């Protein structure tokens, strides 16, 4: 099923249900530009590089007195193209509106070109900048603006543990705030084509050696329209429970690049980067993996486990691997060891070009 940019159902959200989860007929693109709007590191000495026809270029602030702002989080400005057809998609929003708004200004990225928004999962370092971004730019964006979220649990309350082990509020996306800003919500619990050029994995099957590493806790509760409605995918006894977060509906954003294969973008990959890529392959029917991009959440991984996961990634035989955000320096070093010549690094502001 394809989800375009039409208005969602009354009440502010629509749940897409597909007759079958896989395969879907995915679109083919000729080119893709990925601009890193927010990431966790900055490098003013960043040098251009190229691997397997994928090129990275430095992104510089247009104001020499104002640097780009890096923070723990991720936001990517995606520009796929097929012939004369172009789309602009904004994937995630970083932790704070100051970072995403300021960096867009300094990079001279035009928010008014954004056709649709994508939210990978319900963590504040990926959605904290969203409302401030919308407050500044909503009027210049399409009237029928839609955000494509992985699923209902994207709206659950999250918690982290502080240094004393006590629960600390880690934020919650309130769908009423989106409705106030005239943003439609589509839940991509099954694979979904976005804007005729991109597709999402839908709910990711967990069939590799990977496991969800410790991160946040999640509360399955809904009150006065806030929180998440767990009832259609979890048993009734889960109501009100605060449990370790399994990111039930985290999804990856994907493209099928002509003559090259899949580009799989995992914003955090809590459910496993190998699982995510396998899911993209299954739902698309495309076996060739061109690039694996984004956050892989392997920074906290034990050494032995990390080596096993990297070995599984290597078996997928991607042309290039581009780690960001929570992937970890440990992952980058191990990937360079096991997949020499296939790893590209990025920094806040980097432009990545595919199909050059």
Residue 127: the pLDDT is: 97
pLDDT digits (tens, 9 = 90+) for 226-266: 999 888 889 999 999 999 999 999 999 999 999 999 999 99
Quickly state the pLDDT bin for 162 (edges 50, 70, 90). Answer: confident
Residue 163: the pLDDT is: 76
Number of folded domains that form the chain: 1
- Compute CA distances 256 → 35, 178, 219, 301, 352, whole Å: 18, 30, 36, 30, 16
- Per DSSP bridges, beta strands 54-57 and 351-354 are antiparallel
Mean of the per-residue pLDDT values of the chain: 92
Residue 224: the pLDDT is: 83
Average pLDDT rounded to a whole number, residues 204-221: 94
pLDDT digits (tens, 9 = 90+) for 87-101: 999 999 999 999 999
Residue 333: the pLDDT is: 98
Quickly state the pLDDT bin for 165 (edges 50, 70, 90). Answer: confident
Are residues 3 and 117 in contact, defined by beta-carbon separation less than 8 angstroms? no
pLDDT digits (tens, 9 = 90+) for 55-70: 999 999 999 999 999 9
Domain range for 331 is 2-354
**Looking at residue 218, which CATH number applies to its domain?**
3.60.15.10
- Residue 6 phi/psi, 5-degree rounding, is -70, 160
Buried b (16+ CB within 10 A) or exposed e, 256-291: bbeebbbbbbbbbbbbbbbbbbbbbbbbbebeebbb
* The two structure tokens encoding residue 205: 């099957």
Global pTM exceeds 0.85? yes
pLDDT at 130 over 80: yes
Quickly state the pLDDT bin for 7 (edges 50, 70, 90). Answer: very low
Average pLDDT rounded to a whole number, residues 173-190: 94
């Amino acid at each position: 099923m394809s989800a375009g940019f039409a208005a969602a159902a009354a009440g502010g959200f629509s749940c897409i249900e597909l007759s079958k989860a896989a395969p879907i007929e995915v679109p083919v693109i000729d080119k893709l530009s990925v601009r890193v709007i927010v990431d966790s590191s900055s490098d003013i000495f960043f040098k251009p590089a190229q691997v397997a026809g994928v090129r990275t270029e430095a992104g510089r602030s247009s104001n020499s007195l104002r640097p780009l702002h890096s923070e723990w989080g991720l936001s990517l400005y995606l520009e796929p193209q097929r012939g004369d057809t172009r789309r602009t998609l904004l994937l995630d929003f970083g932790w704070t509106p100051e970072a995403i708004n300021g960096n867009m200004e300094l990079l001279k990225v035009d928010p008014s070109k954004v056709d649709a928004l994508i939210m990978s999962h319900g963590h504040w370092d990926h959605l904290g900048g969203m409302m401030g971004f919308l407050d500044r730019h909503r009027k210049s964006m399409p009237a029928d603006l839609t955000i494509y979220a992985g699923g209902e649990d994207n709206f659950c309350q999250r918690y982290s543990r502080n240094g004393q082990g006590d629960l600390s509020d880690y934020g919650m996306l309130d769908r009423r705030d989106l409705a106030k800003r005239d943003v439609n919500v589509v839940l991509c619990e099954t694979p979904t084509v976005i804007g005729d050029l991109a597709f999402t994995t839908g709910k990711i099957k967990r069939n590799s050696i990977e496991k969800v590493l410790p991160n946040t806790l999640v509360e399955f509760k809904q009150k006065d329209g806030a929180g998440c409605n767990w009832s259609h995918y979890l048993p009734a006894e889960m109501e009100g429970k605060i449990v370790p977060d399994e990111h039930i509906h985290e999804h990856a954003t994907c493209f099928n690049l002509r003559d090259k294969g899949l580009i799989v973008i995992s914003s955090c990959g809590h459910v496993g980067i190998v699982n995510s890529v396998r899911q993209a392959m299954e739902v698309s029917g495309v076996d060739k993996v061109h690039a694996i991009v984004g956050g892989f959440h392997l920074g906290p991984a034990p050494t032995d486990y990390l080596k096993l996961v990297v070995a599984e990634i290597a078996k997928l035989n991607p042309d290039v691997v581009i780690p960001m955000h929570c992937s970890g320096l440990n992952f980058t070093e191990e990937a360079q060891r096991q997949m020499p010549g296939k790893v590209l690094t990025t920094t806040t502001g980097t432009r990545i070009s595919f199909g050059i």
